[in-house]
Amino acid sequence: MRPVQVPDLSAREVYAACISKTRPKVKARLQALTEDVVNAASEFEVAASAADLHRLIDLKTNPTDESDRAQLTKNYTQRLTNKDHPAREIYDELKIAGRLCPLCAHRDVETLDHQLPKSLYPLLAVVPLNLVPACRSCNTLKSDADPSSAYDQTLNPYFDDISKEQWLFARVHEVAPACVSFHVKPPSSWDEVLAARVLWHFKVFDLAELYGNQAGRAMTSLRYVLKRKAPSTIPAYLKDEADGGADEDPNSWKAVMFQALANSSWYINGGFALE
């Protein structure tokens, strides 16, 4: 859940690039839909910035013609993503805006995720603000999810920036070997909708499992590191690692893991060594 700079690309120019090489008959039909696409993009921008995507119901039935809907979808599947199509450079530009997948903040960006699925909202198939850089796992996990209220809208990294405050926390489990689990604790400054959305996002993208697995691996290595340290130096070492990681990203699983370990007297006083 990392913010991404809003792309400097208009819906009109991306759409024009996508339909530029289509056959004359198809092109004429797609050109006739240009203003519908531009208007849909404006509606999407307003709704996405207000967690109002569930109100864009009218976009689902526009256009009504099945062949028009199919051609709009092909703008993404056969044109924007096609390595031999001139619009492909736009796809690559959108992808490169995020190094790490902004949805999980862990894996590499490999594709673009439609915030509102192209299968249901064909007018938004190549609208830049609806195309979020993502890893394949996040793209697959979200699939064709369609929000039914403000509360079940996953975060859009162009509009939602929750990187400044800590909302991710971990709990140490006093077992052998030691492990941590992750959870969302919304800051008091968040409103009810944002808190619900982040909890939903955390659930949809299985982030508790992803971060828990990563932490499990990291803690196996950490056990050997800590065993070689003088016991009196362990608290400061864990705190340094937590603070260093939090400087870069207070919600990185690693920084949060070190924070939880640094706060656990059970872990510091020998829990770390249990196998």
**Amino acid sitting at position 210:** L
Q: How do 168-173 and 179-184 pair as beta strands?
A: antiparallel
CB of 141: closest distance to Zn ion in angstroms?
8
User: Cβ closer to Zn ion: 113 or 241?
Assistant: 113
User: Cβ closer to Zn ion: 73 or 214?
Assistant: 214
User: Cβ closer to Zn ion: 134 or 172?
Assistant: 134
DSSP character at residue 170: E
CB of 202: closest distance to Zn ion in angstroms?
12
User: Which tokens is 207 given?
Assistant: 């982030």
CB of 99: closest distance to Zn ion in angstroms?
12
Is residue 105 within 8 Å of 252, Cβ to Cβ? yes
Residue 196, classed as helix, strand or coil, is: helix
Q: What is the rounded distance in angstroms from the CA atom of residue 170 to the CA atom of residue 190?
A: 20
End-to-end CA distance of the chain: 33
Residues contacting residue 45 through CB under 8 Å, at least 6 positions apart: 129
Q: What is the rounded distance in angstroms from the CA atom of residue 202 to the CA atom of residue 240?
A: 27
User: Cβ closer to Zn ion: 22 or 153?
Assistant: 153
Q: Residue 235: count other Cβ atoms within 10 Å of its Cβ.
A: 16
User: Cβ closer to Zn ion: 135 or 219?
Assistant: 135
Residue 84, classed as helix, strand or coil, is: coil
Q: Interface residues with Zn ion (CB under 5 A)?
A: 101, 103-104, 107, 135, 138
Q: What is the rounded distance in angstroms from the CA atom of residue 237 to the CA atom of residue 163?
A: 25
Report, in angstroms and rounded to the nearest whole number, the Rg of the chain calculated over CA atoms.
Answer: 22
CB of 136: closest distance to Zn ion in angstroms?
8
CB of 48: closest distance to Zn ion in angstroms?
19
User: Cβ closer to Zn ion: 95 or 173?
Assistant: 95
CB of 155: closest distance to Zn ion in angstroms?
12
User: Cβ closer to Zn ion: 19 or 135?
Assistant: 135
Q: Residue 237: count other Cβ atoms within 10 Å of its Cβ.
A: 18
Give the sign of the dihedral formed by CA 62, CA 65, CA 68, CA 72: positive
User: Which tokens is 19 given?
Assistant: 């339909």
User: Cβ closer to Zn ion: 80 or 135?
Assistant: 135
